[in-house]
Structure 1
Amino acid sequence: MDADDLHALALSRPTEALRIAHEVLAGTPSDAEAAAAHHAAGLVHRDFGDIREAVAELKAAYRSIRRTTDRDREDEILATLGVALVMGGQTERGLAALDAVVPGRTGVLAGRLLIRRSWVLGALLGRYAEALADAEQAVESLADTGDLIWEARAFQMRAMVLLAMGVIDRADNDFARSEELFAKSGQEVEYADARQARGAAAFARGDLPTAMQLSDDAQQLVERLGVLEPDLYANKCLMLLAAGLTHEALVGINSALERIEAQRGSSARHAELLLCAGLAAHAAGAFELAERRNRDAIRLFRRQQRPWWAARAELALLQTRFANGGRTAPLLRAGQRISAMLDELDRDLAAEAHLLTGRIALARNDSAEAVRHLSIAARARKRGLRTRGAGWLAQALLHQDSGRSRGMLGACRQGLSLIEIYVRTLGATELRALATAQGAELAAMALGHAVEHGSGRQVLEWSERWRATVLAIPPVRPPADDGLVADLAALRDLTQRMESSHDRGPGKSHQHRERERLESAVRRRVLLTPGQLDERRERLRIAELLEQLGDRTLVELVDLEDQLYAVVASHRQVRLRPIGPTSVATHALSHALFALRRENARRGRHELLLDPIGARLESALLGNTLQRLGDGPVVVVPTGRLHAVPWSLLPSLRTRPTSVVPSAAAWVRAMRAKPPGVDRVVLIGGPHLSAGREEVRRLAELYPDAVLLADGSATADAVLEAIDGASLVHVAAHGTFRADSPLFSAIELDDGPLTVYDFERLKRAPHRMVLSSCSSALGGPSGADELVGLVSALVALGSAGVVASVVPVSDPATVPLMLRLHEQLRAGDGLAEALARTHESDDATARSFIALGA
């Protein structure tokens, strides 16, 4: 095998190349053969992250090649050594080696040498103008030479520099070309690197699902090859953080960091991973860890003479200190210094630095300095995608500081509209919910202004502007994916076998690992669902809301800086009422839910008095708004933290029809929803309910034409087919809420759990649904003020109303309750009216259910 073939093998199948190199060196190789073997071994060690070993091998290669007359190969090996030296933190020596071999070279050799220097200048040192000049010359030198591998590297190098400079479309075209050439030449590692780089371009363009798909493809390939690619893990960490998947980002980047440290890998790449690990720790609220990571990264970047990277890491450090309460004069001076430095190095990143510095100045009441820095940051709102969010926030802060409320509100609207566009690029419910957190500060700023001015109408408008945002956008069904369907079916089968097995041996832990793998596969497939950019969110029109309410009263709760407020809309008026500390309300709710769980389980020796518990909860939630409720039905819009309130436990609402909705806009949409043309009732009885068979049998007498699925026929496929577009569905089955992963909350069927992921495959949700399942109304708070769970999925898919419980309920006690409920539904009552008539008893089970929607 000649030197070029061995070099190519080192980058495509590194383990095999390293074996061959060792075999060559174990014999009696010529100087040229020894140089080729050491060179290949050095490349493998460099890419595996063992820079010390790489430098040793490349120095040996250089000594061997100098004993030959092959000056071209000598230059190539010296250039490779120069790259390794820079990666190991010896920047001056490495650049000197590269600068020594580039001048005077032409043709293919010039292209090869220019690529190496361009990579060092751009990827490691952030000197993009010089790097682009080298990359352009490399592409020109290697075009039409027939050397596919080096031509691919030239395109990839130019793409990397263009991407760093924000020229995204040209970068993507070059990445696609390099990916094609690497595939043709069988360079698997470099193909994976090109694929993840295309993911980075998609991420920069704002297409997060495509970015994650390409990154996942690349990760699967490098893991199969056993290669550590730091760029891949660094870019994926940034993608996951942008998606709000903080835990996944932290776990992934810490794993990569441990691997590179164990391998004593590239000092340059180690520093980059430290920076990403600091960003992930910051997002997770682990500020002390984030500060340690950032300090370590800064020290390495400075030692490596990489000013752009050092400035980026220092900005991350200052952001962490500010988030952790830092407001000192030295912090302000550091912000001023880093802002000035980034003005010279990266004006997009400088916008973030000026925003931070302005905020520190505001916190220190230094208005002049705040205005100076915020004004610079605000100008970025008219630039590219990376800076517009920071620019609108800076503009809002500027107007707020100067008392220009109209300008501040306008900036908040513009910033939130920008985030809405981003949310619509995402198809997965989980990602959409998490993305809303990016607008929380802007929404709170505008909401705080409305509360301060005591305008109930303004508070309602701004509360609705960023409440249940995900539900206001039509859901995107996961693509028709046989793999997703197969994984969900396998997960159901495995879960059922685990729950029916009493085995506690070694096989049980294997089953748990397999369940985790299947859940991860399902989640990954759905997260990659692309959004639909043509979607439009319909704004709430308060005039229409007041007209729709009629004799009803709407109470919308607002949580602002741990203070609870109520917006009361009735009789064509909207009023704002302060309630009290949110913490008092959440404590009262926890006590009430505990009491209901205890009474439903019949575990206590003494019966708890629910009425005084309900009265305390009522006071904490509604305060003096009760006098404004009138005598008609009530529509309640709770906050995400208060979504599980058992409203019928409140004395004033005990027998009053009460509808619970995630937003006033959602209630208006539910009121508009038209039932299906065909009146189709579906009754479903799941396994293991002590009274489930009796419940379904008795309901079947009320609905003789209903589709009945029970006694083994309630399988996932049969249930999904039956309920799709049904007018009324009743489910008597055990329910589980997964706080750790709400989209895996499920209803237990005969062949296993039917999860939220399954429900999201429906073409049309049932018009109305009754879930006599345990804790089926629960959701997981996410993002700004979103809920993720079974009921929220049904509402998003178009269900007009759902009856569900907020705590586990007694199976036998549920049967008469459900019969009374359906008798009222058949008499023409709506869900809230029918449920209210079942609350006439003092039974804890009746008080555990709420009516959601219209």
Structure 2
Amino acid sequence: MRLHRSAVKAGAAGKPATAARHAAEALRLLGWPDGEPSAPALAARLLLTLAHAEAEQGRTDRGLELLDRAETLADLADVGTVLQQRGLLLLRRGEIDAALKLLDAAVPVLQEHGEPTVLARTLLNRGVVHLTAGRVRLARADLRQCHDLAGTHGLDLLAAKAEHNLGYCALADGDVPAALQTFDTAADSLRRLHADGFLAISMLDRGRALLGAGLDTAAAEELDQSIELLKRHRLSQDLGEAELARAQAALGSGDLAAAALWSARARARFTRRHNRAWAALAASLQVRVDLAAAARVTAGADHAPEATTRRKLLAVARQATRLAATLRDLGLRHDAGGADLLALRARIAAGDTPTAEQRVAARRVLPADVPLDTRLLRRLTRAELHRADGNPRPALDELHKGLATLQEHRRRFGSLELQSSVAALGADLGTVGLDISWSLGPPGLVFNWSERSRAQSFRTRSVLPPQDPQVADALAELRQLRRAVRLAELEGRPEPLLRARCSELEQGIRRQGWWAADTEEGHGAATDAEVLAELARAGQSMVTYLVRRDQLHALVLASGTITSVELGAYAPVAESVRRLLSDLDTAADRRLPPKLAAVVRASADRQATTLDQALIAPVRAALGTHDVILVPTRQLAVLPWGLLPSLRGRPVSVAPSASVWLAARTADRTATTGSPLLVAGPDLLHADAEIDAIAALYPRGRVLRGAAATATDVLAGMDAAPVVHVAAHGHHDTQNVLFSRLELGDGPLLAYELQRLGTAPGQVVLSACDVGRAVVRAGDELVGFTAALLHAGTANVVASVARIPDELGPKVMAHYHRAVATGVTPARALADLPEATPFVCFGAG
């Protein structure tokens, strides 16, 4: 019937009022509701359509009444549809258990008698219910069945929706890369279908996943696209949430102006919607941004803030106090507690004396269910309070306890839950501790706090789920239920049963130590005494670089002592590093005219000399003649140190922290009992010749070439290998470092996949491209392919931090491996190369 088709079409297009009008008119033509309809089966289907349209307009009870009538008229083919629709309407009313029973009853009936479209939709909805309840395995089974069924019958939109929710399953499992890839696949399908409304939500979810993984820049790009689509489709609530997430991404990347803009937009949008809870959350982020902006001016200052800055800080404190009251009125007690702490921090930074009540509140014992970010914020606030009172040692104790809490959370639960606010607080704990230790004076104390800061932020966030299925299920359920509790809280629903289940899961994880068994941290922060002792045993010296108040400093550890050296402003040094890398990239192009090539090489030499004078000359005497370990900061992490004149011909290794170096030096290497692995990737000129020259040095070595060098085989061959050499194109993805990669025979080997190694290889050489480059985040967290290898436990990684000509690898690598094969250390082998190169030895040396 034409009216029935029109009703169904209007419902699918999101026009429930039109759908209801067409369905009601058709029912009147059939004689309903005045009498028995002339065509019962058709009337049943029209009643189903009308019930859905009524519910879409907020009249769920009316929809259920219509379903009661439809059930009496439906033939066997439509019974499953009635059950499915009744389940969905109960789900709208929050009756999850009753809804699930109806969906469970509908599936076998639909499998026997129903239409594929209705069955696929039922499986999709039941999968979403399971996912919301934290039953991820059941959700995945339903969603996969829906996806396969939809694909078989050409139901492309349902297949895309199932794919998207499978991404949510991966995210609940803690498998961030799989979630991002699945979201990508779903988004591609939605684009082909021109389903822009669903695409906008898909991109919002992917942006949130990137944000949760700490990839703020990539998250911002994804959210920007989502926001444009959400505006076009006038999805106001989702748009406000996207704007709030965009503000979080901006804050995480340090762009305070953008964070202020986006949080203000989100707050205004939620206010217009009369959504007080979400508006208060946006206001809370605004307070954090305002406090961060004012704190930039006063950070580490030894004097009281200027009058203008003080007025701004006191205004932030008043704003935070008012916000705390609003949040309490809304029942958001933990958010209110966080706002109170922000108010106290602002007053302390302004030089104001906290009240006795505020001091008592800061020291009050917290309930067990207080979120991690509030716990860390309180430790930070208490430390700042001690510092303001002139008690630096108790302040350091508070900061140390905060970092210990953060590490314990990582160890127990993994790091997927560490959203940008928590990661930023972790970096703040280390930074404040470093500043306090600097004011106290002893270089050893400064060194120890620099290691605490670097060590806690260097550890890569866990982006893969644990192997134990019991652990995986518990953590997946906990993640989903936490999200459900938070959403219920924002809607004013207490949900005590969900909260109780969360507490039960958390206690079980702590009691069993499940996560700890799956994620061995490997090492803590090294102390000055431990590092000095190992340096003496190794006959080496170390330089740790730090930036404080935009000034560059060096701590030199040599001959049993630590010396602090001031080096000058950081900005000119960072600019010289940028220019040197740019010159090296340009010089790698052999198509340059000879005169231009000479100019570029001369420029690179000048920058190397400038950096040598700034970074090495002031510490040269203290270093003596020892081999050197360098622990860089910020952009110094991507400097080709071996090109600096004072370091040419001298063994140098670079480590993200002294703790990483010490762990690599003292690790048990007896487990690397596999065969050497030599890989020639596809489409790289000279790769085969390079591997042939090296293979003669390793008679037991395994060689993989071209198409045979698959990502799976290379990863398997790396496991427990003493030496791995890869001559393959690579790509360092600055926006999404999880996907930095080596190009192999069947596609890329991605950085995050290295976490699957059972035993890390002892030494890895990456001889092509610039895979040694990295992104340096807050707290000197080094991320990229090289960092992933070091995190996995590889003692030494040799890679270039700049582009190199294709022919350079074969020329120098045979020389390098001849030395290593005779027992020479990687750092010494690099130093003895016949020509200077941008290759760097990362790790133990």
SS of residue matched to 2:327:
helix
Fraction of identical pairs, as percent: 28
Once the two structures are superposed, residues 3-45 of structure 1 have per-residue CA deviations (whole angstroms, 9 ceiling, x without a partner) of xxxxxx9999897988864542333367859999899769658
**Residue equivalent to 1:462:** 449
User: What does 1:190-589 correspond to in 2, within 5 Å?
Assistant: 191=126, 194-195=129-130, 197-198=132-133, 209=173, 241-247=211-217, 250=220, 262-263=232-233, 279=248, 282-283=251-252, 291=260, 294-295=263-264, 298=267, 307-325=276-294, 327=312, 330-345=315-330, 346-368=332-354, 373=358, 376=361, 379=364, 381-386=366-371, 387-424=374-411, 436-469=423-456, 535-536=520-521, 538-539=523-524, 540-550=526-536, 551-589=539-577
Count matched residues: 692
The answer to whether the 8 Å contact 1:210/1:530 transfers is: no
The answer to whether the 8 Å contact 1:472/1:537 transfers is: no
The answer to whether the 8 Å contact 2:551/2:570 transfers is: yes
Q: Specify which of 644, 651, 657 is matched with residue 650 of structure 1.
A: 644
**Match of 1:454, as an amino acid?**
G
SS of residue matched to 1:764:
coil
The answer to whether the 8 Å contact 1:339/1:350 transfers is: yes
User: Structure 1 residues 150 and 254, CA, compared in 2 at 3 Å: closer, same or farther?
Assistant: farther
Deviation at 1:698, TM superposition (A): 2.5
Once the two structures are superposed, residues 494-516 of structure 1 have per-residue CA deviations (whole angstroms, 9 ceiling, x without a partner) of xxxxxxxxxxxxxxxxxxxxxxx
User: What does 1:737-756 correspond to in 2, within 5 Å?
Assistant: 737-756=732-751
Deviation at 1:654, TM superposition (A): 1.5
Distance 1:724 1:75 in 2: 59
SS of residue matched to 1:754:
strand
**Match of 1:359, as an amino acid?**
R
Q: Specify which of 666, 675, 683 is matched with residue 678 of structure 2.
A: 683
User: What does 1:37-76 correspond to in 2, within 5 Å?
Assistant: 44=53, 54=57
Distance 2:752 2:459 in 1: 19
SS of residue matched to 1:635:
strand
Distance 1:811 1:236 in 2: 37
Q: Specify which of 766, 788, 804 is matched with residue 761 of structure 2.
A: 766
**Residue equivalent to 2:607:** 613
**Residue equivalent to 1:68:** none
Q: Are positions 1:807 and 2:807 aligned together?
A: no
Once the two structures are superposed, residues 51-90 of structure 1 have per-residue CA deviations (whole angstroms, 9 ceiling, x without a partner) of xxx48xx6xx9xxxxxxxxxx959989xxxxxxxxxxxxx
Once the two structures are superposed, residues 729-753 of structure 1 have per-residue CA deviations (whole angstroms, 9 ceiling, x without a partner) of 2233333322233333333334444
Structure 2 gap ranges (5+): 2-7, 35-42, 69-81, 107-120, 138-170, 295-308, 469-513
Distance 1:175 1:258 in 2: 34
Q: Specify which of 705, 709, 716 is matched with residue 714 of structure 1.
A: 709
Once the two structures are superposed, residues 291-338 of structure 1 have per-residue CA deviations (whole angstroms, 9 ceiling, x without a partner) of 565556555655666554443343333334444448265444333322
Distance 1:750 1:157 in 2: 53
Once the two structures are superposed, residues 544-582 of structure 1 have per-residue CA deviations (whole angstroms, 9 ceiling, x without a partner) of 322221221111112334322222222222232222222
The answer to whether the 8 Å contact 2:52/2:63 transfers is: no
Q: Specify which of 791, 797, 806 is matched with residue 796 of structure 1.
A: 791
**Match of 1:820, as an amino acid?**
H
User: Structure 1 residues 208 and 468, CA, compared in 2 at 3 Å: closer, same or farther?
Assistant: farther
Distance 1:803 1:215 in 2: 30
Distance 2:748 2:200 in 1: 39
Distance 2:748 2:213 in 1: 27
Structure 1 gap ranges (5+): 2-8, 48-53, 62-71, 78-107, 109-145, 159-173, 482-528
Distance 1:434 1:330 in 2: 22
Once the two structures are superposed, residues 506-531 of structure 1 have per-residue CA deviations (whole angstroms, 9 ceiling, x without a partner) of xxxxxxxxxxxxxxxxxxxxxxx998
Distance 2:181 2:748 in 1: 27
Deviation at 1:348, TM superposition (A): 0.9
Deviation at 1:440, TM superposition (A): 0.7
SS of residue matched to 1:418:
helix
**Residue equivalent to 2:165:** none
Deviation at 1:380, TM superposition (A): 6.9
Once the two structures are superposed, residues 639-670 of structure 1 have per-residue CA deviations (whole angstroms, 9 ceiling, x without a partner) of 24221222222232222211211121211221
SS of residue matched to 2:564:
strand
The answer to whether the 8 Å contact 2:631/2:655 transfers is: yes
SS of residue matched to 1:577:
strand
- Is the deviation greater in 355-364 or in 255-264? 255-264
SS of residue matched to 1:440:
helix
User: Structure 1 residues 561 and 191, CA, compared in 2 at 3 Å: closer, same or farther?
Assistant: farther
User: Structure 1 residues 241 and 785, CA, compared in 2 at 3 Å: closer, same or farther?
Assistant: same
Distance 2:625 2:555 in 1: 17
**Match of 1:421, as an amino acid?**
E
SS of residue matched to 2:562:
strand
Distance 2:579 2:573 in 1: 10
Distance 1:578 1:330 in 2: 37
**Residue equivalent to 1:632:** 626
**Residue equivalent to 1:850:** 841
User: Structure 1 residues 231 and 426, CA, compared in 2 at 3 Å: closer, same or farther?
Assistant: farther
Distance 1:475 1:39 in 2: 46
What do you get for the CA RMSD once the two structures are aligned? Answer: 5.0
The answer to whether the 8 Å contact 1:199/1:214 transfers is: no
Q: Specify which of 728, 736, 760 is matched with residue 733 of structure 1.
A: 728
The answer to whether the 8 Å contact 1:725/1:763 transfers is: yes
Distance 1:541 1:316 in 2: 36
**Residue equivalent to 1:522:** none
The answer to whether the 8 Å contact 2:543/2:556 transfers is: yes
User: Structure 1 residues 431 and 799, CA, compared in 2 at 3 Å: closer, same or farther?
Assistant: farther
**Residue equivalent to 1:97:** none
Distance 1:600 1:232 in 2: 41
**Match of 1:768, as an amino acid?**
Q
SS of residue matched to 2:408:
helix
SS of residue matched to 1:349:
helix
Distance 1:177 1:577 in 2: 70
**Residue equivalent to 1:26:** 25
Deviation at 1:825, TM superposition (A): 1.8
Distance 2:220 2:228 in 1: 12
Deviation at 1:781, TM superposition (A): 2.1
Distance 1:613 1:456 in 2: 30
Distance 1:810 1:436 in 2: 39
Distance 2:183 2:353 in 1: 48
The answer to whether the 8 Å contact 1:195/1:218 transfers is: no
User: Structure 1 residues 709 and 548, CA, compared in 2 at 3 Å: closer, same or farther?
Assistant: same
User: Structure 1 residues 305 and 597, CA, compared in 2 at 3 Å: closer, same or farther?
Assistant: closer
Distance 2:744 2:768 in 1: 11
Q: Are positions 1:664 and 2:652 aligned together?
A: no
Once the two structures are superposed, residues 101-132 of structure 1 have per-residue CA deviations (whole angstroms, 9 ceiling, x without a partner) of xxxxxxx9xxxxxxxxxxxxxxxxxxxxxxxx
**Match of 2:686, as an amino acid?**
A
The answer to whether the 8 Å contact 2:376/2:426 transfers is: no
SS of residue matched to 2:756:
coil
